[in-house]
Amino acid sequence: MGLISYCQRQEELVAREAKLSRRVSRLALLPKGRWYHFWDDAVMEGPGQVSLDAPLEQIPLLVKAGSILPMTEDEKLMLHLYPPVEGSSEGCVYSDAGDGYAEWRIDRFEMVRDENGLQLTWEQQGDYPFPYKSVQLHLHGLKLQQAWVDGAEVACQGNVLECDRFEKVYLRGGL
């Protein structure tokens, strides 16, 4: 059997082998654009074909530049930010009680890339309360040098910024 390459969402490319084998690498056909390896942030440019390490315990996963990948852990919303090469991109997170009948909320995020870094704006719609105790921003593709949350400079740890709900964050960084 051969390679299966598919886009799980427009921003994600998953490559897996159709048959389990001892082989530890897979070929993937990349669509046009800049792609980041989810596990190690290696940068790849498409279109083209790439070979990806693929141990059985870790599926190869690529994230397209311009993506905002939300994840949760211990009542924390983690946003993995993969800046667009240029211009802007958007993402959103939907939350509700899970019963389908009550209040809901959509948190919309917009990233705008400039020559010095990245601006992230956050708008909320709906009446459901924010279900997380904190927010953690993970910046990929740029080395975070300084950060401002709603105009106030804040400390960051490596490429990670911990904060509360905000309207605007500016992340200054270089390659």
- pLDDT band of 106, cuts 50, 70, 90: very high
- Domain membership of residue 39 as a residue range: 3-64
Q: How far apart are CA 69 and CA 166, in angstroms?
A: 18
Strands 134-139 and 76-81: parallel
Q: Are residues 77 and 60 in the same domain?
A: no
74-83: pLDDT as tens digits:
999 999 999 9
Q: Who has greater pLDDT, 86 or 20?
A: 86
Same domain, 80 and 135: yes
Percent with pLDDT over 70 in the chain: 86
At 47, list the tokens: 């279109």
Spell out the long-range contacts of 13-20 with Cβ–Cβ below 8 A and sequence spacing 24 or more: 13/61, 13/62, 13/64, 14/59, 14/60, 14/61, 14/62, 15/52, 15/54, 15/60, 15/62, 16/54, 16/59, 16/60, 17/54, 20/56
Structure tokens given for 39:
């596990």
The answer to whether the CB of 83 falls within 8 A of the CB of 111 is yes
Looking at per-residue pLDDT, the higher value among 16 and 57 belongs to: 57
Q: Are residues 50 and 8 in the same domain?
A: yes
Scan for tokens 């998953």, then name that residue.
Answer: 14
The model's confidence at residue 119, banded by pLDDT at 50, 70 and 90, is very high
Q: Looking at the structure, tell me whether residues 60 and 79 fall in a common domain.
A: no
Tell me, yes or no, whether 87 and 104 share the same domain: yes
- 110: domain CATH number? 2.60.40.1180
pLDDT at position 162 is 94
Whether residues 152 and 165 share a domain: the answer is: yes
**Tens digits of residue pLDDT in 40-62:** 999 999 999 999 988 888 888 99
Among 14, 46, 64, which residue terminates a domain? Answer: 64
Over residues 90-112, mean pLDDT = 93
What is the percent of the chain with per-residue pLDDT over 90, rounded to a whole number? 73
Total domains in the fold of the chain: 2
Whether 135 and 56 share a structural domain? no
pTM of the predicted model as reported, rounded to 2 decimal places:
0.85
Q: What strands, in cross-sheet order, belong to the sheet with 12-17?
A: 3-9, 12-17, 61-64, 25-37, 43-53
pLDDT of residue 111 exceeding 80, the answer is yes
153 class by beta-carbon count within 10 Å (0-12 exposed, 13-18 middle, 19+ buried):
exposed
Is 161 found in the same domain as 102? yes
Which is more confidently placed, 12 or 125?
A: 125
* Domain termination residue (choose one: 14, 30, 64): 64
pLDDT band at 15 (very low <50, low <70, confident <90, very high): low
Q: Are residues 55 and 106 in the same domain?
A: no
Residues 59 and 81 in one domain: no
Mark which of 21, 40, 64 sits at the end of a domain.
64
Identify whether residues 30 and 104 lie together within a single domain. no
- Smallest CA-to-CA distance from 27 within 7, 10, 52 is with 52
Same domain, 163 and 100: yes
